[in-house]
Amino acid sequence: MGTLISLKSVSKNYYLARGTTGAVDWCKQLINPQYDTFQALDSICFTVPKGAAVGFIGPNGAGKSSLIKILCGIQKPTSGSVRVLGYDPSLREKGFLKKIGVVFGHKTSLWWDLPVKTSFDTYQKIYGISDRDYQERLCELSGALNLGKVLHKPVRNLSLGERVKCELTLNLLHSPSLIFLDEPTVGLDVTSKYEIRKYLNFKRKSDDLSVFLTSHDLGDIESCCDDAIIIDRGKIRFDGSMRELSERFTSNVKLSVSVKNPTLSELSLLAFKNAMFGVEDVNILNDGSNYLTYLLPKASLRSVFNLFPEGVYNLEVSPVDFENNVVNLFKNWSGENL
């Protein structure tokens, strides 16, 4: 099948000038600047096969955007080896740039004051797309993404959803092998999200398009990706298939606890919390005066039920959806020292 992306011990550091507190410090900093180092990526290693769709998941500041910028050649890593489609992205070779597309949901590549079609026509010339291919692809993209009425509008007059769909169209006109999408659906309505997800899945099947997607909307990841990489504070926490990730999550359930006699609520819940300290792999999600919520393995339920007398507590067990499971992972990791 071949390798699409290969990273070996990739690190990325940013250097931030130290702050000053007065004129003397400012002069010292001006003459002999001092910098603090912030490590965005720490020895990242993974490989992605051709034709894959990978969801890159992580909280704000985890290093997702830094990694995408390295993979598409906008930034260079501080150390380590990066190969994408057989190229070193930092060299920005024409052969490499013609094979990739990059969409940043919070930035635009379109001419702001000109009609959308003008940007598309310009990119046709830049990428050397034949008139026939250009017309066919534009017709397909505008139909699939419902852009027929916006092609002649100035970009500044587009809604957010229309602009993002135009950005995606712009980056697919040259028929890339790989597209990077950095939070492409942020702020979009459900219809725009659906159209984008549907078209990406169509292109994956019809043209073997590879997708590398970061998003805080885990619906994007579930809908478009077969594999997932989870990053937290610059380190890879999970690298595997979506099936493996889902199987890991299905072992957990949510336990909601309340007291049948409201007058004894506070004392009874305190006793419940104290008893739960003896149960392994239990995380509290909501610690209220009248209500408790726990995340725990299914295998621990029997021991929990055996701990407490009947008639005192209302215990409700429910499954945990994918998004909440990921959020709970981040919460658990936030207290660890890496």
Listed by start position, the domains of the chain span 3-8+45-247, 252-334
Average pLDDT over residues 287-310: 77
Cα angle at 251 between 250 and 252, to 5 degrees? 90
Specify the pLDDT at position 325: 67
How do residues 3-30 score in pLDDT, each as one tens digit?
889 999 999 999 888 888 888 888 888 8
Is 211 within 8 Å of 224 (Cβ atoms)?
Answer: yes
Specify the pLDDT at position 223: 86
Asked if the model's pLDDT at residue 249 lies above 80, the reply is no
Residue 61 binned pLDDT confidence (cut-offs 50, 70, 90): confident
Asked if the model's pLDDT at residue 335 lies above 60, the reply is no
Instruction: Quickly name the fold that domain 252-334 has.
Output: Alpha-Beta Plaits (3.30.70)
Q: Which of 298, 287, 215, 227 is nearest to 54 (CA)?
A: 227
Average pLDDT over residues 107-122: 91
Specify the pLDDT at position 338: 44
Specify the pLDDT at position 41: 92
Specify the pLDDT at position 221: 85
Q: Which of 18-22, 35-39, 184-188, 324-328 has the highest mean pLDDT?
A: 35-39
CATH superfamily of the domain spanning 3-8+45-247: P-loop containing nucleotide triphosphate hydrolases (3.40.50.300)
Asked if the model's pLDDT at residue 337 lies above 50, the reply is no
How do residues 70-103 score in pLDDT, each as one tens digit?
999 999 999 999 999 999 999 999 999 999 999 8
Specify the pLDDT at position 173: 93
- pTM for the whole structure: 0.76
Specify the pLDDT at position 322: 64
Q: Which of 9-18, 272-281, 307-316, 326-335 has the highest mean pLDDT?
A: 9-18
Specify the pLDDT at position 321: 65
